[in-house]
Amino acid sequence: MKLLIVEDEEELLETIATSLAKEHFIIESASDYLTAMDKIRMYDYDCILLDIMLPGGSGLQVLEELKQSQKSENIIIISAKDSLDDKLIGLELGADDYLTKPFHIAELNARVKAVLRRKKLDGKHTIELGNVVLNLSERQLSVNGEIVALNRKEFDVLNYFLLNINRLITKSALAEHVWGDNIDQADNLDFIYYQIKNLRKKLQTANAVIEIESVYGVGYKLVEK
């Protein structure tokens, strides 16, 4: 997978690039608007990490160019600007996700992987596995055609697991992805245990062909029975 990081803060750029390189991504970078546009016009990327405030232009202009050229790169906006307007404009222009600085690198890595896995859905609004169907647009779970009621966090947890089927998910990565960067203010992660416990019970009661396994001392893994 080939990624482009568009970020003018040199230290942050190096930190992100080093972290993602360890995940075996091919990394390219641009620290200003013109360099970013040159690379985007010349090459295709699986994912672009895009800052909004750039020397020489705006990340929103980059998004407009991508939309006009109908390029299909996945875009994650990484910006210190946290206004609702910027976020909505970015998403309307085709961004797939939005992460506000400062953020944990583990959370960024998780977002990148989730965006890349969503691409495998080929534009579908459902994730299907055995007798389980997760409708992303309706935020609804059905098992054997019957609706299973989930609260908002249970849905987000299951969605994240289904996008990472058979992969070990650490408690910290799960917490950061579903609950956001403010998770570091929590005294402990015990609340994750209760969310997982409730979700397990609902899946078991509905006779779902998937289950959430515990990996002692580390986290969890979603597997098909």
How confident is the model over 27-61, as pLDDT tens digits? Answer: 999 999 999 999 988 888 889 999 988 999 999 99
What mean pLDDT comes out for the span 106-113? 86
What mean pLDDT comes out for the span 147-168? 89
Place of tokens 């992660």: 189
Of 86, 119, 152, the residue at which a domain comes to its end is 119
Task: List the structure tokens of 47.
Answer: 């994912």
Shared-domain flag, residues 101 and 148: no
Shared-domain flag, residues 130 and 113: no
pTM beyond 0.75? no
Given CA atoms 195, 135, 172, 220 in this order, what sign does their dihedral have?
Answer: positive
CATH number of the domain that residue 77 is part of? 3.40.50.2300
Q: By three-state DSSP, how is residue 190 classified?
A: helix
Shared-domain flag, residues 197 and 212: yes
Using the predicted structure, report yes or no on whether residue 176 has a pLDDT greater than 60. yes
Of 64, 97, 119, the residue at which a domain comes to its end is 119
Encode pLDDT of 115-156 as tens digits.
887 766 665 678 889 999 998 778 899 999 999 999 988 998
Shared-domain flag, residues 166 and 92: no
What is residue 120's predicted lDDT score, i.e. its pLDDT? 62
Shared-domain flag, residues 41 and 100: yes
Of 69, 97, 119, the residue at which a domain comes to its end is 119
Shared-domain flag, residues 29 and 97: yes
In the structure, what pLDDT confidence band is assigned to residue 184 with cuts at 50, 70 and 90?
A: low
Shared-domain flag, residues 31 and 108: yes
In the structure, what pLDDT confidence band is assigned to residue 181 with cuts at 50, 70 and 90?
A: very low
Provide the mean pLDDT of the chain: 85
CATH number of the domain that residue 147 is part of? 1.10.10.10
Q: Sheet with 132-135: list strands edge to edge.
A: 126-129, 132-135, 140-143, 146-148
Place of tokens 């803060």: 9
Shared-domain flag, residues 115 and 140: no
Shared-domain flag, residues 12 and 77: yes
Shared-domain flag, residues 6 and 100: yes
Task: List the structure tokens of 157.
Answer: 């947890």
Cβ atoms of 50 and 74 closer than 8 Å:
no
d(CA 139, CA 179) in angstroms, rounded, equals 17
d(CA 41, CA 43) in angstroms, rounded, equals 6
Range of the domain at 75: 2-119
Task: List the structure tokens of 3.
Answer: 């990624």
In the structure, what pLDDT confidence band is assigned to residue 160 with cuts at 50, 70 and 90?
A: confident
What total number of domains does the chain contain? 2
Shared-domain flag, residues 29 and 138: no
Shared-domain flag, residues 12 and 115: yes
What is residue 13's predicted lDDT score, i.e. its pLDDT? 94
Using the predicted structure, report yes or no on whether residue 17 has a pLDDT greater than 90. yes
Encode pLDDT of 56-96 as tens digits.
999 999 999 888 887 767 899 988 766 667 778 888 888 88
Encode pLDDT of 129-138 as tens digits.
999 999 877 8
